[in-house]
Every structure is written in C-alpha cells, then in structure tokens.
Amino acid sequence: MTKRQALEPLENAVASPATKRARVEDEDMESPPSINGRTTNRHIMALRRQDHHRIDITGAYGMEREDMEGVAALDNEGNAAIALPRRQAAPEEGYTDLYLDTIDRKVLDFDFEKLCSVTLSNINVYACLVCGKYYQGRGPKSQAYFHALEEGHHVYVNMETKKVYVLPEGYEVLSKSLDDIKFVVDPRMSKEEVARLDREPKVSWDLLNKEYIPGFVGMNNIKANDYFNVVVQALAHVAPLRNYFMLENMSTRPQLAQRFSTLVRKIWNPRAFKSHVSPHELLQEIALRSSKRFSLTEQSDPIDFLSWFLNNLHLAVGGSKTKPNSSIVQKVFQGTLKIESQEITARADAGDRLRFEDAAVKTETSKFLVLTLDLPAAPLFQDALERNMIPQVPLTTILSKYNGMQPQEKMKNRVRYRLLHPLPPYLVFHIKRFSKNKFVSERNPTIVTFPVRSLDMAPYVEPNPKAYPPGEPIWYDLVANITHEAVKKKDDSVEGEQETKVWRVQVRDRSRDEWVGVQDLFVEKERGETLFTKESYAQFWERRRVGVGANTEGKTKAS
C-alpha cells in the first residue's frame, strides 16, 4: 500500500506490497534466538528447497528467498553447487565491530530515490555504507549479496527498517556507533525538539566541518527544479505545517506525504552529513503523480506548483474533497471569500461599466488557499535607464482588490471581493506578474513594496462583531517571500535578448529574527528592509498571535 510498482521493470512486479510486508517481518524475526534458530532454519530450509523450483520459475527466487540462512547455492537441478560464504546470525565473538571502519560517511547520500542500482526496484532496498549505492535484498542471490562478494563491501543499511547488516555473512550489527547514519536516513525529532526550533538559535557542522543552520540549508537544483525548491523551502517554514510533517506518523500515508515529511525533516536535521538537501525523491513522486506536469527537468511556475501540491498534499493526509477544514493544509491556509457579482448589461455605458447598479447582486462565498493580487498595468515604454522606469506599488494598494468596494470586470460581470472572518493562520499571496495571450508571455516588472511585519488585514475583511471586534487590526508578519528575477541570456541572436526565470526565496529565521535568502544551493543572510526590492511573486504571511481578548479566533488556529 505504501510502495508503488510503477517504476519497476515488469519482471519485478511479482512482488506485491503485501509480500513485501511479509518479507520485512521475516527479516525482523531473523535476529535469532540462537539455539532454536538453528533447528527452525533447517526446517525452513528444507521447505524452501522444495519451493525453490516453483518460485524460481517466476524469476523471483533472489527476492523471495533472500532470508535463507546458510544455504548453499543451487544450480538449475536444485543440487548444491559451490560452497558460499557461511551465513551467520551474529558476528564471531570479539569481532562485533568488524568492517565498521570501512564505512565512508562522506559518500552517503540518502536523498536520492531508493531504487536498486541493478534492478531499479524500490522494494527492500539497502544502501552499501562503503560506496553509497543502493541494492535490493540481502539474502543469497540478492543484489546486495552479490555486491558484497564482488566488491568486498560488507556493511549495509535497510532503507526502511534502518537495520544494519554485514554481508555476505548476513548478521545484524547492533553497534550504537551507527546511530548517526540511521538518523540521517530518517531524521526524527521529538515534540520538545521541534518546539525549540524557532526559539533557540542553533548551529550545526556537517561532515566536512562546514557550519550550517538547521532549517536554512541549500537545496539541490538537479536540472530545472528551482521553482519547486522555493515552494518547499517556504512551506518548510510555515510552522504548523512543518511541525505536522515532522511529528505525525506518515507510514500509512501515500508516498507524496511520506516523502515531503522526510524532506522537511532533512531540511531541519541538526546532525546532517552535508549542509544541503536534495529533493530528488519527492520530485520523482511528484513527476509521477502529476503525470510529468511538474518535473525536475523542466521549469514550471511556482504558483502553479504550489496550488497543485497543496491540493494533493491535502488529499494525501486524508483531507476531504468537499468538507472544509479537513486537513492540516486547509487548517493552515484556507480562508473564505465573498464574491458579489452583477451582469454588465447593454445599458451600462463604457465609462461606467464597473459601477454596481441598483439591481440584483449575486452573492457567493468561496474557499481559497491562495489569494491572487493583480498588478497595475506597467508602462509600455521604458527608457534606456530601464531601472528608473520600474514602477512601484504598495502591497496595501493591490490588496484593496479585497476591500469589497473596488469593482473589477470578470467575464461579463462586474465583481467585487471581500474576505470573511475568520482569516486563516497563514495567508498566501500570489502577485500576478505573468500573463499569457495567444502569442506571448508577458511579465509585469512592477515592484511591490511592503513591510515585513505588521500588515493589517482588517480593511479587507467584512466586519463581523460576533467573530472579531470591529476596528481591531488583524496583524500578519511575513515568513517567506518567493521572488522572480529575469536573467538576460547573453546571446547575439537577432530576436534580441532572451530572458530566463530565476527563482529565489527568503525565509525568516525566527530564532534569530533574521532573514535568509536561498537560491538552490546558495544560502545567505538578507536584510528584511530590502526584501521588497526584488520582484516578489509569492508571499507567506503569518497571523500574529495576540493576547487574550483581542483574538477571539484562537480556536481556528491550527494545532
């Protein structure tokens, strides 16, 4: 249920998720109570010998029988052929740490999708702790077993159970000295540790002794996934969402939720081997789930991706398709909008098309996760000193779209919008810079100015004395800001200069009250006062918790 088969070669499809689970349990039992174990194993072995031909015909022998101990290799007739290394239930006495000094932590990178480097299966995968490669299975005839024989690499960790084994002998290593590796495979923090993330400034060092701040690490741009990186970085700094994915048990959830959870925990890992993360594993899943709409090889729009991701993440954690407030995603981001509309009739003259008339007004409410803000039209012409011509607009001006008074034209209607109480704990703004018509995609370079703190949202919300004291401000503070930069490609083509999009994100380090800018692997401190000088594209605002009395919406806060 938790693993999929889609990427596997057909011949591996015989192993259903159910048999895989059985196998894992099999392995767990394998840590032997020694004396009885021997009899039991012999018994199993006898049975399995009989099974062997039947199973081998399906080509699954290597996978299915990998837990056999001490068995000799069987040729096609089922006869024992050559003597293979003796399988052991435990290391020889006095050799408990044998081979552990061959582990090379610097080559270990558990961020890549766990696929056997030979079979490309994602089932029952082990990482070789000597060279870092992934291999399937650990029983005789398994890929990891062969790798141990061929390369003399002896120590392997199961990517799911995190148990470490020595191959080809096959015994489990119980040494505490491997805990750091197990932690990097799957970093887990306690509730108390997560609660301290935003309070205590922390510094860590990676294996190369490079200093890094957990939570503020670079993210690999494998090819063109910067649009994805900025969104994940921003979401990893939305505290209730982050905490949920760091602390909740995702083991029965779809891969999308599991892999996002792992990535968030890796971003905040205080004991990482390297000071950046790679989103490869999550991206592979997203490419699959979105039918390649979002991939690591082609740049997409961060807002398109964010909308897709939030909706799919919502479903992946059990959210309802119809019921509001049914997942952490909705609890954090979802708000309600009132839309009033009136058809523009023929008698409305051109200049006054948008003035609401004394006629029926249709009123609807609508749920939102992201609020779109429109930029005023940018001047058509720019002089040689382009910079001087870049227009600016305050955030509060474009927010007035939601003040319930400013009419706009939509389809054949005039419409006006207003937010309704309660506002969500986090507001996401999409500053609409790009427009596409049949021929070209156009960019509006207008700079939006904003303070990073104390944005009052009260003017855009319909008063409702039962929900919130009228006249009281509703403060929001910025936690993440995704910016666009148009980088001109230097080429001498006749068409002129081509622009490429570069995405960055600035996130707030709450423990230090500082801003950190991240562009893929590049991480640097930034000044809050100058964040607005870039082309802001998406903003994540956090509702400020205020003292009892002023905030009557405490119960809507996400836990």
Binding site for Zn ion (CB under 5 A): 128, 130-131, 153
Distance between CA atoms of 451 and 511, rounded to whole angstroms? 20
Residue with smaller CB distance to Zn ion, 131 or 447: 131
Quick one: 145 or 309, whose CB is closer to Zn ion?
145
- Closest distance between Zn ion and the C-beta of residue 475, in Å? 55
Smallest gap from residue 324 Cβ to Zn ion (A)? 50
- 271's CB contacts (< 8 A; 6+ apart) are 180, 183, 184, 187, 204
Give 100 or 502: the residue with its C-beta nearer to Zn ion.
Answer: 100
- The helix or strand, by DSSP H or E, that contains position 541, with its residue range, turns out to be strand 535-543
**Residue in 77, 70, 30, 27 with CA at minimum distance from that of residue 52:** 77
Q: Which CB sits closer to Zn ion, 136 or 330?
A: 136
For Zn ion, give the closer residue by CB, 151 or 513: 151
Closer by beta carbon to Zn ion, 128 or else 277: 128
Query: Nearest approach, Cβ of 26 to Zn ion (angstroms)?
Result: 24
Q: Which is nearer to Zn ion, 148 or 235 (CB)?
A: 148
Instruction: Note the helical H segments in 31-142.
Output: 34-57, 61-64
* In the complex, minimum distance from the CB of residue 151 to Zn ion, in angstroms, rounded to a whole number: 5
Structure token digits, residue 243: 């905490």
Kindly state the smallest distance separating residue 145's Cβ from Zn ion, in Å.
Answer: 12
425/551 Cα distance (integer angstroms): 12
CB of 147 to Zn ion, least distance (A): 6
| Minimum distance, C-beta of residue 150 to Zn ion, in the bound complex (Å) | 9
Residue closer to Zn ion by CB (options 139, 302) is: 139
Q: Give per-residue burial for 480-515: e unless 16+ CB within 10 Å, then b.
A: bbbbbeeeeeeeeeeeeeeeebebbbbbbbbbeebb
Instruction: Tell me the two tokens of residue 438.
Output: 């049949």
Q: Shortest Cβ distance from residue 118 to Zn ion (Å)?
A: 12
Which amino acid belongs to residue 559? S
Whether the ω angle into residue 32 lies within 30 degrees of 0, i.e. cis, is: no
Q: Do residues 97 and 175 make contact, with C-beta atoms less than 8 angstroms apart? A: yes
Q: Print the SS3 string covering 376-443.
A: CCCCCCCCCCHHHHCCEEEHHHHHHHHECCCCEEECCEEEEEEEECCCCCEEEEEEECEEECCCCEEE
Closest CA to 302 of 450, 484, 499, 516: 484
Instruction: Using alpha carbons, select from 46, 40, 39, 36 the residue that is nearest to residue 26.
Output: 40
Between 90 and 131, CB nearer to Zn ion: 131
Name the CA dihedral angle for 122, 126, 129, 131, rounded to a multiple of 10 degrees. -50
Number of other residues whose CB lies within 10 A of the CB of residue 7: 14
Residue with Cβ nearer Zn ion (101 or 352): 101
Residues facing residue 340 across a β-bridge: 363, 416
Report the distance separating Cα 431 and Cα 285, nearest Å: 28
Q: Which of 177, 184, 88 is nearest to 138 (CA)?
A: 88
User: Taking the CA of residue 424 as centre, how many other CA atoms within 13 Å lie in the half-sphere pointing to its CB?
Assistant: 26
State the nearest-atom distance from the C-beta of 133 to Zn ion, in Å: 5
Shortest approach of Zn ion to residue 130 CB, angstroms? Answer: 4
Nearer to Zn ion, 117 or 552 (CB): 117
- Rounded to the nearest whole angstrom, what is the least distance from the CB of residue 146 to Zn ion in the complex? 11
CB of 153 vs Zn ion, minimal distance in Å: 3
Residue 390 CA to residue 388 CA, distance in Å, equals 6
We find the least distance from the C-beta atom of residue 86 to Zn ion, in angstroms, to be: 21
- What is the radius of gyration, based on Cα positions, of the chain? 29
Residue with Cβ nearer Zn ion (153 or 433): 153
- Output 143 or 536, the one with its CB closest to Zn ion: 143
Q: Do 401 and 417 contact (CB within 8 A), yes or no?
A: yes
